[in-house]
Homo-oligomer: A and B are copies of this chain.
Amino acid sequence: MSEVQVGDSLLFLTDEQLRQGIEAMFFAYRGFTVAPDQILEGTGYGRAHHRALHFIARAPGMNVNRLLMILGVTKQSLNRVLRTLIADGLVESRVGRADKRERHLYLTEEGAALEQKLSDAQRKWMRDAYRKAGPEAVAGFRQVLEALMDGEIRQSHAALRENTP
B interface footprint on A40-68 (CB within 8 Å = 1, 0 otherwise): 00000000000100000010000000000
Residues of B within 8 A of A162 (CB): none
User: Is A99 on the interface with B (CB-CB < 8 A)?
Assistant: no
29 contacts between A and B (CB under 8 A): A1-B135, A3-B139, A3-B142, A4-B134, A4-B139, A12-B135, A12-B138, A13-B131, A19-B119, A19-B123, A21-B141, A21-B142, A24-B145, A25-B29, A25-B145, A27-B149, A27-B153, A27-B154, A27-B157, A28-B149, A28-B153, A30-B72, A31-B153, A32-B148, A129-B147, A132-B147, A141-B143, A141-B144, A141-B145
